Every structure is written in C-alpha cells, then in structure tokens.
Amino acid sequence: MEHMEGMSLKKLINSPENYVDETLEGLVLAYGDRLSFAETNKRVILRATTAKKGKVGIVTAGGFGHLPVFLGYVGENMLDGCAVGNVFASPSARSMSEMIEACDNGAGVLCVFGNYGGDKMNLSIAREAAELEGIRTETVLVCDDVASSPPESAEKRRGVAGMVYAFKIAGAAAAQMRSLDEVKAVTARALENIRTFGVALSPCIVPQVGKPTFSINEDEMELGMGIHGEPGIQVCKMLSADETADTVLSRLLEDMPLAAGEEVSVMINGLGATPLEEQLIFYRRVHNVLSGMGVKIIMPHIGEYATSMEMAGLSLTVFRLDEDTKALLRYPGDTPFYTNHNI
C-alpha cells in the first residue's frame, strides 16, 4: 500500500494500466444480454438489442471514472452508444466516429455531450467523418454546473449530473420516433431548465496518477467542486446537512428562480463515497424547502448517477419541467444502471 498526501492508494484493481479495459470487460460479461462492444473497438459500448429502423440514434462519450455516467445509460429508450476514454480523459475521435456509425438507424444521430474541450474537439472530427459517410448528426452540449461560470457566460459551464436528465429526455423522444430536429429541440429545451451545484468532502485517487486529485482538511468542505477535481468557488468549515442543502439550493434558485405551482424533478447525486442515508437526509431538507415554496417535486432521483470514483460529497440538480418534458421523464427507460420504474 502506498501513502500519498495522507491518503492511501487502496483499490481493488489488478493494475492501473488495465483499470478501464478490465472494468469494461466485466460490464459486458455481466450485462451481455443488454450491452455489447462495437465489432472492432472495445472502447465503444452499444445496445445489444436492435433499435427500430428510422429511430434517431442517441450517443454520448466521455472520460472514465464517473460510473454510471457515461456508459451506464446505454440501454432501452436511452442511449444507443457511448465511446469511452481513459480516466478523466476524452475518448479518441476514432472511437466516437465508430460509435456514431454504429448508432445510425437512418434518421441521424444526436450527440449529447458534456461541455469539455477534449470531448468537443474529438467530436468535431468524428462528426466530419460521419458527414462523409452520409450520416447527419446534431449536438447538444450539457452546461448545467452553475458554479463553473456566471449566468452571463453560461455556455462555458461544465456538464455534470444534469446530463443524466438530458440522456433520459433525448432517449425517450427518440423512442417516440420524433425527428432529429425535434429530439434536439426538446433536449436543448430541457437543458435550459436544468441546474446543478456540487459539494466535495474528500478527493478521489486516479489509479494511474496514484495521488489525490486535490487536498482538503478534515474539517472542511469545498463548494462548487467539479467532478474531475476542478476547483470550486469556496472552501468552508463543514456544514450540517440542512445548512449544506440551504446553501446549495439557494445558489441554484439564484440562477433559476422557481415560482409556486411549478413542477421540478430533483436529483441528489452521490459522488462515490457518500452513503445513501446522508443523501436522503439532504433530500429531506430540499423537499421541505421546495414544498414550502409551493413547488411540486416529480420523480426525485436519489443515489449515485454521476460519480468521481471514491470522492465524498454530492450534487443537487433541479430540472424545471413542462408537460412535454414531464411526460418524457416518465416514459419507460431501462439500462443496467437506471430504471424509472422505481422512481
């Protein structure tokens, strides 16, 4: 066991170099009836079931280390495919290109991506390759992290847990056989009404790096931390669950005010090492505050949806609903890591 900066590199792995590929092998062995590798690329995960001819393909891509994001949402009425990079690193343009080609059912492909430079650059190359093959693509970027940029430059915000809602809406709209333009429009509209804010209590250790992504004192927490360890906006002394919920919710409501009578879905997302009990205590406060405002919560999501390996902390996502997005959220969706049957 190796000790670095007060934390031990203590992981149930074989070797850091094989961490991603062995995880993917385990995934396909466990869920081979629902997921498969692309024919010539084991960094591309696809639905094992055949999509309807004429259905818009829904895809994403991103670095590893955030399960269930990204590949955990490949499944029925959600994503059709996902390209996988190394830990916290973008997948290759070749992987993205093969993913797009595999997920085209004749109606084009919508790429739902987090707002990260490497992902966007490689996606641009992959989309050009798809165009040469006669495949039409469109892109929607997820920019839901309010801590990462102010409202006047919201297009620079990082994509975090709110992307799970985007996958759900896009997948459901495509399953209803809407056109590529229609699927893009409703997904973009959903994202305009999604905000996320996270807090971190402790860092994670990237296997191939072998040391914590950041350092924080035992009696402190960081507000606004990104899922790759990007700096937050404030380090403060530990707050109680209610105090933390009030702080985080107030930040979101400053950015997206809510009125009595509106309906939202709320996601309490554990970052990897925060027990469900603590997430439920946090949700209790969020529920009571929003209910007191006259805001109705539809289908709360509580659990681990977008993690950062063993990072302790959580994020709060608020998704303001309209009648269409509410129906799409409720539309059946099922992957090895997500089902809305019990939400």
Burial degree of 251 (CB within 10 A; 0-12, 13-18, 19+): middle
Contact between 210 and 2 under an 8 Å Cβ cutoff? The reply is yes
Given the residues 66, 287, 301, 341, select the one marked as catalytic: 66
228 is catalytic: yes
Token pair of 274, please? 């925060």
CB 82 within 8 A of CB 61: yes
d(CA 339, CA 332): 8
Of 197, 196, 332, 193, give the one whose Cα is nearest residue 264: 193
Let me know how many helices (H) and strands (E) the chain has, helices first: 8, 17
> In whole angstroms, how far apart are CA 296 and each of 150, 211, 291?
27, 43, 6
**CB contact at 8 A, 325 and 190:** yes
| Closest-CA residue to 136 (of 159, 110, 116) | 110
The number of residues making up the chain comes to: 343
- Phi, psi dihedral angles at 267 (to 5 degrees): -120, 120
What angle do the packed helices 162-175 and 180-191 form, to 10 degrees? 150
Q: Is 341 a catalytic residue?
A: no
Tell me the angle at which helices 323-330 and 162-175 cross, rounded to the nearest 10 degrees: 90
Query: In terms of Cα–Cα distance, which of 73, 113, 77 is closest to 93?
Result: 113
Q: Which residues are catalytic?
A: 66, 228
